[in-house]
Structure 1
């Protein structure tokens, strides 16, 4: 592997550098013979190394090199300084995004100055915008799924990666839409979405933590533009709406069913998540998603507490006592 490629040096330059370090003060013809290259090729490689100040030609025309800790450390320090400056430049550019976004919002505002500032988005570019919003915000994502806009996790690779890394994703599916798109619902579940079914969702919207909301501008409609809303009061109102709809909805599997009971029984038996997934015939991600959902519903922090809580509710059998025996 060419370690000096990061500096723009080719394989021959690295081979020559190693030769010079091992045997200093030789003419170019000696290195050419050792590397089975022409003198002209060695001269070109030498010039490339000289430009990086890794080698030098002494008064006798022989090739020499300083200790690599001196030569390479000097280059690394200079490169790191340039990288730090580049990062500062990029940070300043990131800080300027809000200013540019303000210019964009100003051009999109309606004539009424009292109307909240909005960034309007056409449905055709919705998937790309959602990817950007997911990457640039924090906190759990609350997403509604209706017939207004239907897409699959395959169209949201950034969101899939964020959920895989642990970001919370809560999906509220409209019952009629979910019944006609069972595969899509299953795909979102497999991706790691915690799901519930609602009889009616008044509008299509997505809450990105408490940072912003993406919502259909035609309330209750299947068409129209979408708007990114950043006003804190508006965002809190949408989060509250979602949470109330969520509380009034049922889980996709209609609560803690026999599958969940079997899941807890396997946990009580001491099986690891991988083994539970094999027994139930589901993915490891699905097992962990179901366990997390049950713990959230029961307001517990450990799996043992979950088993105790479900036992007290009469959903599963008694919790086996922890013993010191085999």
Structure 2
């Protein structure tokens, strides 16, 4: 096996390198004889080694080489530096994906939208659009789950990562749908969704903070098309609708969440989220989700602002 092949060195050049290390500065004819190879081929092999500075050609046209620990370490260091830069370039490209996706969506909107502020979405591309909206917006995500909008938690890896990092996700499950799709409800709960059951959801929609909403155009029906709406007034109307339904809905599991008072006490004691999770006997995801809910309740955007608000208000005024 030729260990130098990773550097683009062929077998003949690798054999020549070994010969030069064993017996330096011989005429090319000597090496050609030992390798049973024409002199021209040996000279071409030497050029491969010279390009990587593994050998050098003396003034009288003979190959010689440094100790391999020096020569090969020099080549390896250069290769590792090149690959490190390549990895950084690829990481920057990955970070730019969302920007390119936004350009794509903008182009689609201009090409396919007949009405200003509306972006129609085909059913087979719905999951990708939802993932893009989750990545490109901020604030709580409010999700209505009906039989018609059959998107599974497993189809939303970007959303799963955002929720794991602390973004608040609330889901309203239609009662009949929840009773017949119990495994789907559990799947969304495992993703980190706060859940409640509603006896009736008039229209399927998802609110991404106050930036955008995706909804079905057939209000109260089972057909229609999906549309992304970004008008601030329209989005806030959907958020208000969701919050009113949320307030009237029943909980799926009231025993899963820590009380706000106990959570605040541990936060003010200076405990990190991991320590709080252990103290409360819940998952880290549950702690981060509850903190996100407190931030929304207090109308703040950062943990520091939450600490200030809690200090001002004390432990009163929070639901258990």
Same fold (TM over 0.5): yes
Contact 1:131 1:156 in 2 (8 A): yes
Judged with a 3 Å threshold, the aligned counterparts in structure 2 of structure 1 residues 289 and 106 are, in CA distance, closer, same or farther, namely: closer
CA distance in 1: counterparts of 2:169 and 2:192, whole angstroms = 7
CA distance in 2: counterparts of 1:28 and 1:258, whole angstroms = 68
The CA deviation string for residues 241-292 of structure 1, in whole angstroms up to 9 with x for no partner, is: 32333334333235xx59867x969x99x99634754xxxx76645765687
Confirm whether residue 104 of structure 1 aligns to residue 105 of structure 2.
Answer: no
Give the gaps of 5 or more residues in structure 1: 17-25, 316-326
The alpha-carbon deviation at position 32 of structure 1 amounts to 7.0
Q: What is the correspondence of 1:195-274 to structure 2 with a 5 Å cutoff?
A: 195-253=195-253, 273-274=277-278
The alpha-carbon deviation at position 29 of structure 1 amounts to 0.5
The CA deviation string for residues 183-238 of structure 1, in whole angstroms up to 9 with x for no partner, is: 22122112111222333322111122333221111112222221122333333332
CA distance in 2: counterparts of 1:275 and 1:44, whole angstroms = 70
Contact 1:58 1:64 in 2 (8 A): no
CA distance in 1: counterparts of 2:85 and 2:251, whole angstroms = 52
Confirm whether residue 178 of structure 1 aligns to residue 178 of structure 2.
Answer: yes
Judged with a 3 Å threshold, the aligned counterparts in structure 2 of structure 1 residues 226 and 118 are, in CA distance, closer, same or farther, namely: same
Contact 2:168 2:293 in 1 (8 A): no
Confirm whether residue 157 of structure 1 aligns to residue 165 of structure 2.
Answer: no
Q: Using structure 1 for the length normalisation, give the TM-score.
A: 0.60
Partner of 1:223, secondary structure, is coil
Judged with a 3 Å threshold, the aligned counterparts in structure 2 of structure 1 residues 62 and 188 are, in CA distance, closer, same or farther, namely: same
Judged with a 3 Å threshold, the aligned counterparts in structure 2 of structure 1 residues 297 and 179 are, in CA distance, closer, same or farther, namely: farther
Give the gaps of 5 or more residues in structure 2: 24-33, 300-304
1:31 aligned to which of 5, 21, 27: 21
The alpha-carbon deviation at position 170 of structure 1 amounts to 1.6
Contact 2:139 2:167 in 1 (8 A): yes
Q: Using structure 2 for the length normalisation, give the TM-score.
A: 0.61
Judged with a 3 Å threshold, the aligned counterparts in structure 2 of structure 1 residues 314 and 92 are, in CA distance, closer, same or farther, namely: closer
Structure with greater contact order relative to length (CA < 8 Å, sep ≥ 6)? 2
Q: How many residues align?
A: 277
Partner of 1:188, secondary structure, is helix
Contact 1:141 1:209 in 2 (8 A): yes
Judged with a 3 Å threshold, the aligned counterparts in structure 2 of structure 1 residues 75 and 237 are, in CA distance, closer, same or farther, namely: same
RMSD: 5.2
The CA deviation string for residues 72-93 of structure 1, in whole angstroms up to 9 with x for no partner, is: 56994798499769959x9599
The CA deviation string for residues 147-175 of structure 1, in whole angstroms up to 9 with x for no partner, is: 22223322222222222222221212223
CA distance in 1: counterparts of 2:80 and 2:183, whole angstroms = 55
Contact 1:53 1:71 in 2 (8 A): no
